[in-house]
């Protein structure tokens, strides 16, 4: 079991206990320095190949997966298209309260969901 499995199970159990039935959860991924590692003031941008499989895991699990960015919805959509995942994810304004997030992955210490996971931007 990975650290992500335990986080996911914790959120899933809370939702199942609340409703007594399995329910898709809402998961948001920030883009810059989370899914998309940015180096040298934007000159070198590389997808985070360790985090992307987690995004696909949530998609395959039937959960609602959102991308958002402080750069706006158009930027988030552009990156989703660049990754070829625009059909698997939904785009939302970062921090939007339109959808209540169960789980949020971000490089900043945010409180935008029930559970928030800070991704270390200095990881290798």
For the entire predicted model, the pTM comes to 0.78
DSSP H or E segment with residue 14: helix 3-19
pLDDT beneath 70: ranges in the chain: 1-3, 15-21, 39-43, 123-124
Neighbour count for residue 58 (Cβ, 10 Å):
22
The answer to whether domain 3-13+24-118 has CATH 3.40.50.1000 is yes
Residue 101 confidence (pLDDT) = 95
What local confidence, expressed as pLDDT, does residue 49 receive?
A: 79
CB-based contact 78:32 (threshold 8 Å): no
Q: Given this model, what pLDDT does residue 87 score?
A: 95
Please give the share of the chain, as a percent, with pLDDT higher than 70: 83
Cβ contacts of residue 47 below 8 Å, gap of 6+? 35, 36, 37, 83
* Domain parsing of the chain, residue ranges: 3-13+24-118
Q: Residue 54's pLDDT is what?
A: 93
| pLDDT on residue 96 | 87
Q: In the prediction, which pLDDT does 124 show?
A: 46
How far apart (Å, rounded) are the C-alpha atoms in residues 97 and 123?
30
């Amino acid at each position: 079991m990975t650290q992500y499995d335990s986080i996911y199970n914790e959120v899933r159990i809370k939702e199942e206990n609340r409703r007594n039935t399995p329910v898709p959860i809402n998961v948001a991924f920030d883009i810059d320095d989370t899914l998309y590692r940015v180096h040298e003031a934007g000159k070198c941008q590389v997808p985070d190949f360790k985090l992307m499989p987690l995004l696909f895991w949530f998609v395959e699990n039937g959960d609602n997966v959102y991308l958002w960015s402080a750069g706006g919805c158009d930027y988030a959509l552009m990156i989703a298209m660049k990754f070829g995942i625009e059909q698997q994810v939904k785009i939302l304004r970062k921090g939007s309260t339109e959808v209540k997030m169960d789980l949020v992955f971000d490089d900043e210490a945010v409180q935008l969901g029930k559970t928030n996971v800070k991704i270390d931007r200095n990881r290798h």
